[in-house]
Amino acid sequence: MVKVLKSLSEFEQVRAAEKASIGFVPTMGNLHAGHISLLAKGLQEFDTVYFSIFVNPKQFGPNEDFTQYPRTLEDDIKKIETCASLYPGKNVIVFAPQDPSEVFSVHKERNISIEGIKDILEGEIRPGHFDGVATVVYRLFELVRPQKAYFGLKDYQQYLVIKRMVKDLNLPVKIEGMPIIREESGLALSSRNQYLSPEEKLEGLTLSQSLSELAGMIQGQQSKLNLAKSAVQKMLQNKKWNYLEIRDAESLSTDTTHSKMIVILGVYQLRTTRLLDNLEVSLS
């Protein structure tokens, strides 16, 4: 069963009556198979999954158009219903507030800021973005009170920000990072892919192919990191890279001397479309 709630008052009424443990998937809508994979995992583990669709104004910068973000609620609900139909007897509660005041009415001035990893990589390019992400996720955790929440690992830095927030604030929710879902070509699924022409989609494979090439150079060996880092500098001669970096997978530190796991993160830009991807590599 799928139930759609658009107001905070009806959501709070339904949540107050909930007795079971619940999973939670927070999204901004415009759903694709990556989002739906999070829902499917939740339905495998819980009888009831709460699923939010909320375009959060706090994570949009001054040069990013909040009003232009695609809002496709009717189509999103169909995708959710199709997934839920595969899990008979399970419930999905969709919280889809249309007005930001429904979410932030009580805490308009609250700001959650996770120091250390919020101002690098994506945070350097989009100042304040991760404050907006942490603030809305904290508020949604406050409303939903889930036992577990699911986040896609394509937005790797976001995943680490949320994990750090939960740890720092001692929140009673387990965070699970879910594998990146890709098109058959290898391109990571993203709502942004809809803005690409077929030719740009082909060029966008530079991102995933470069990550794989670097991982192949490293071969899981700490001793080969410098070779890969030298290759990164050559790749960055292509100015379509916003960044391409090898970092510690837990801290995102550039010092990988003692890392047991590293992550290769990149953003490749085609016109105004920024494609994000990453690849984790275990080291021996």
Average pLDDT over residues 219-227: 96
Point out which residues pair with 93 in neighbouring strands.
3, 50
Residue 105: per-residue pLDDT: 77
- The beta strand positions in 48-126, using DSSP E, are 48-53, 91-95
How far apart, in whole angstroms, are the C-alpha atoms of residue 178 and residue 110? Answer: 29
Confidence of residue 62 (pLDDT cuts 50, 70, 90): confident
Point out which residues pair with 241 in neighbouring strands.
268
Average pLDDT over residues 14-24: 96
Q: Which domains does the chain have, with CATH numbers?
A: 2-178 (3.40.50.620), 191-282 (3.30.1300.10)
How far apart, in whole angstroms, are the C-alpha atoms of residue 91 and residue 24? Answer: 12
DSSP 8-state code for residue 222 = G
Residue 39: which of 19, 55, 24, 56 has the closest Cα?
24
Residue 280: per-residue pLDDT: 98
Asked whether residue 107 carries a pLDDT value surpassing 70, the answer given is no
- Polymer length of the chain: 284
Is 210 in a helix, a strand, or coil?
helix
Average pLDDT over residues 185-214: 96
- H/E stretch holding 40 reads helix 33-45
Long-range contacts of 221-229 (CB under 8 A, 24+ apart): 221/283, 221/284, 222/256, 222/259, 222/283, 222/284, 225/256, 225/262, 225/283, 228/264
Residue 171: which of 143, 141, 135, 133 has the closest Cα?
141
How far apart, in whole angstroms, are the C-alpha atoms of residue 37 and residue 45? Answer: 13
Look over the chain and give the mean of its residue pLDDT values, rounded to a whole number.
95
How far apart, in whole angstroms, are the C-alpha atoms of residue 235 and residue 224? Answer: 17
- Any idea which residues carry the catalytic annotation? 35
